[in-house]
């Protein structure tokens, strides 16, 4: 059973770059049955007057959001689950989209640094006498 969540008065901020959901057995991307789009997981912080909570929300189609950006989450639902003695709640949204620039002081995901060039072989760094 899907439970619709009232998010009136709640602000959301993306806290991790979107990641493709994968099928565990094959590492292939998970596909949404209804739309045929790849499923993505976005970690967001939900903040309201009572405090904040970090949620992992699944959405169909690659969301164009980045770390630190305020986002609009539409059609948020909770899906309680139980399997092999474990249980939890999965969150799903109809869409997640950016509503502005990253929050001040939040750095974007760092890009990998380029390794420095190796020193030429045979060079000892000593001058010939």
Q: What is the CATH number of the domain that holds 10?
A: 2.40.50
Q: What angle do CA 22, 61, 83 make, to 5 degrees?
A: 40
Q: Is residue 118 part of a domain?
A: no
Q: Is residue 115 part of a domain?
A: no
pLDDT in tens, 42-92: 999 999 999 999 999 999 999 999 999 999 999 999 999 999 999 999 999
Q: What angle do CA 67, 74, 40 make, to 5 degrees?
A: 50
Q: Is residue 127 part of a domain?
A: no
Q: Which domain holds residue 33?
A: 3-98
Q: Is residue 66 part of a domain?
A: yes
Separation CA 109–CA 87 (nearest Å): 32
pLDDT for the residue 129:
47
Read off the pLDDT of each residue in 25-50 and give the average, rounded to a whole number. 96
Q: Is residue 116 part of a domain?
A: no
Q: Is residue 110 part of a domain?
A: no
Return all residues near 41 (Cβ < 8 A) that are at least 6 apart: 18, 19, 20, 21, 56, 57, 58, 59
State how many domains the chain has: 1
In the sheet that 77-83 helps form, which strands lie side by side, from edge to edge? 3-4, 77-83, 86-92, 51-60, 39-48, 11-20, 70-74, 95-98
3 state SS of 28 = coil
Q: Is residue 51 part of a domain?
A: yes
Helix, strand, coil shares of the chain, percent, nearest 5, are: 0, 45, 55
pTM: 0.77
Q: Is residue 129 part of a domain?
A: no
């Amino acid at each position: 059973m899907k439970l619709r969540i009232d998010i009136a008065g709640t602000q959301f901020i993306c806290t991790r770059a979107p990641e493709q959901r994968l099928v565990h057995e094959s590492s292939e991307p998970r596909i949404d049955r209804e739309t045929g789009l790849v499923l993505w997981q976005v970690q967001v912080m939900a903040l309201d007057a009572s405090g904040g909570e970090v949620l992992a929300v699944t959405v169909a189609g690659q969301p164009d959001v980045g770390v630190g950006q305020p986002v609009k989450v539409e059609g948020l639902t909770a899906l309680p689950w139980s399997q092999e003695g474990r249980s939890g709640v999965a969150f799903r949204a109809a869409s997640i989209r950016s509503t502005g620039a990253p929050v001040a002081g939040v750095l974007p995901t760092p890009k990998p640094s380029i390794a420095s060039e190796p020193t030429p072989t045979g060079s000892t760094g000593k001058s010939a006498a």
